[in-house]
Amino acid sequence: MKFKSTVPKDDEGIPIVNLVDVLFLLIVFFMVSTVLSYDKGMGVKLPETASGSGRISNKGVSVLVNRDGKVFVDGAEVAIDQIGAKVKERQKIGGTNVILKSDRDTRYQSIATVMDRLLEVGISDLSLPVIEKGGGQ
């Protein structure tokens, strides 16, 4: 008995598997190289000064106080009495510098309360960013 040997023919087309691999690598590259900023969508307008005090590093824990007095630590809303513990927890991941941002219309008492809570837990490395007049954010 004679059997026919059948060899499957390769479909000549675009090799999709290779393109998916390349696409996956591009996605991973952009995810790793993207700098995340937690407070971009909060609509905070930083105060302006006549002369900037130099560049402040964005590395560290971001604490934001909006005009309503709500406090956000790295983008997540935090109760006022839990700010110190949350910032200490985030410092283990993001670095020791704490960047305290507030809206120009925020009541000073709200900012002072947040600073007091941070000082109570031993956080003294604070940065207060501002915008130089004539510059933009």
Domain that holds residue 62: 40-132
List 73's β-bridge partners, or say none. 63, 76
- Supply φ then ψ for residue 62, to 5 degrees: -95, 120
The answer to whether position 65 is within a domain reads yes
What is the per-residue pLDDT across 17-45, written as a single tens digit (0 to 9) for each? 788 888 999 999 988 887 665 555 555 66
pLDDT band, residue 137 (cuts 50/70/90)? very low
- Rounded Cα distance, 102 and 38, in Å: 14
The answer to whether position 2 is within a domain reads no
Residue 2 is predicted with a pLDDT of 73
- Rounded Cα distance, 98 and 31, in Å: 24
Average pLDDT of every residue of the chain: 77
8 A C-beta contact, residue 71 and residue 108: no
Q: What is the mean pLDDT of residues 78-104?
A: 84
The answer to whether position 108 is within a domain reads yes
The answer to whether position 20 is within a domain reads no
Whole-model pTM: value is 0.56
Most confident of 22-31, 83-92, 105-114, 122-131: 22-31
Tokens of 125: 């490395």
Q: How many domains does the chain have?
A: 1
Residue 26 is predicted with a pLDDT of 92
- CATH number of the domain bearing residue 80: 3.30.420
The answer to whether position 91 is within a domain reads yes
Q: What is the DSSP string of 95-127?
A: -S-EEEEE-TTS-HHHHHHHHHHHHHTT---EE
The answer to whether position 76 is within a domain reads yes
